[in-house]
Amino acid sequence: MKRYEASKCLLCNSPLDEPITWKTLLTNQFPRTICTNCEEKFQPYEATDTTDLISLYKYNDQMKDYLHRYKFMHDALLAKVFRHQISQHLAKKKEIIVPIPMHPEKLKKRTFSHVDELLNEANIPFKHFLEKITPESQAEKTREQRINAPQIFALNQNQDLHDKEIILVDDIYTTGTTIHHAKRIILEAGAKSVTAFTLIRG
Contact string 149-168 vs Zn ion (x = CB under 5 A): --------------------
Q: Is 9 in the site for Zn ion (CB under 5 A)?
A: yes
Q: Out of 32, 35, 115, 183, which residue is the one contacting Zn ion (CB under 5 A)? A: 35
Q: What's the closest the beta carbon of residue 19 comes to Zn ion, in angstroms?
A: 18
Q: Out of 30, 32, 33, 38, which residue is the one contacting Zn ion (CB under 5 A)? A: 38
Taking the least distance from each CB to Zn ion, the nearer of 10 and 167 is 10
Q: Is 81 in the site for Zn ion (CB under 5 A)?
A: no
Q: What's the closest the beta carbon of residue 42 comes to Zn ion, in angstroms?
A: 11
Q: Is 12 in the site for Zn ion (CB under 5 A)?
A: yes
Taking the least distance from each CB to Zn ion, the nearer of 14 and 28 is 14
- How many residues form the binding site for Zn ion (CB under 5 A)? 5
Strand partners, 15: 8
Note the residue count of the chain: 202
Choose one: 21-29, 35-43, 110-118, 133-141; the region binding Zn ion (CB under 5 A): 35-43
Choose one: 4-12, 62-70, 74-82, 101-109; the region binding Zn ion (CB under 5 A): 4-12
Q: What's the closest the beta carbon of residue 62 comes to Zn ion, in angstroms?
A: 10
Q: What's the closest the beta carbon of residue 35 comes to Zn ion, in angstroms?
A: 3
Q: Is 100 in the site for Zn ion (CB under 5 A)?
A: no
What's the 3-state SS for the chain?
A: CCCCCCCECCCCCCECCCCCCHHHHHHCCCCCCCCHHHHHCCCECCCCCCCCEEEEEECCHHHHHHHHHHHHCCCHHHHHCCHHHHHHHHCCCCCEEEECCCCHHHHHHHCCCHHHHHHHHCCCCCCCCEEECCCCCHHHCCHHHHHHCCCCEEECCCCCCCCCEEEEEEEEECCCHHHHHHHHHHHHCCCCEEEEEEEEEC
Question: Angle at which helices 114-121 and 83-90 pack, to 10 degrees?
Answer: 80
Identify the CA nearest to 85 among candidates 141, 125, 32.
32
Choose one: 34-42, 49-57, 80-88, 104-112; the region binding Zn ion (CB under 5 A): 34-42
Task: Give the residues lining the site for Zn ion (CB under 5 A).
Answer: 9, 11-12, 35, 38
